[in-house]
Amino acid sequence: KAGVTQTPRYLIKTRGQQVTLSCSPISGHRSVSWYQQTPGQGLQFLFEYFSETQRNKGNFPGRFSGRQFSNSRSEMNVSTLELGDSALYLCASSQGTGGNSNQPQHFGDGTRLSIL
């Protein structure tokens, strides 16, 4: 079974630009979550999608958005990029039981986003 696939692996952007990151979950997984990892703030939850609906959102500005498609693939978008958005963005997929089972989230390799 293929794991969680994130593309691209690396991305360099400049301030003010916009970026879209992609995540393909494990086959059969219906929930996709996104996390931002930085040395200063650690791992922070961005949002979670289940059946094309956002069912949970972290404390990030509106510049961060996402969506999920009918095949469970997800994209996250960051507009008007700032230097502080430089981070590793991790995507995780799960069966989507909403916390009702011990099934873990499975993570992708992440997208390293650098803002110049």
Partner 1 sequence: AQTVTQSQPEMSVQEAETVTLSCTYDTSESDYYLFWYKQPPSRQMILVIRQEAYKQQNATENRFSVNFQKAAKSFSLKISDSQLGDAAMYFCAYRSRGYGTDKLIFGTGTRLQVFP
Q: Which residues bind partner 1 (CB under 8 A)?
A: 31, 33, 35, 42-43, 45, 48, 55-56, 88, 90, 92, 94, 96-100, 102, 104-110, 112
Residue in the structure block whose two tokens are 């089972």: 101
**Greatest distance between any 2 Cα atoms in the chain:** 42
Nearer to partner 1, 42 or 62 (CB): 42
Nearer to partner 1, 8 or 98 (CB): 98
Contacts of 109 (CB under 8 A, 6+ apart): 6, 9
Nearer to partner 1, 13 or 106 (CB): 106
Minimum gap (Å) between residue 104 Cβ and partner 1? 5
Q: H-helix or E-strand containing 113?
A: strand 111-115
